[in-house]
Amino acid sequence: SLSDQLDAETASISAAANSLTGIEGVDAFVEKRRADFGSVERTET
């Protein structure tokens, strides 16, 4: 159902935003700089 899909989408977006990669992306956007995902990918499991 649409409600189930929206719940799944909310969970996925939340998980991505709270990952080290997501945090780096948001920080880079706010600081108006290029994101450095290379260092994040080496430390994230």
Rounded Cα–Cα distance for residues 23 and 37 (Å): 10
In this prediction, residue 44 carries a pLDDT of: 61
Structure confidence at residue 45 (pLDDT): 57
User: Which one-letter DSSP state was computed for residue 19?
Assistant: S
Q: Take residue 3 and report the two structure tokens written for it.
A: 């409600």
pTM of the model: 0.62
Spell out the domain ranges in the chain.
2-43
What does each of the 45 residues of the chain score in pLDDT, given as a tens digit?
999 999 999 999 999 888 999 899 999 999 999 999 887 766 665
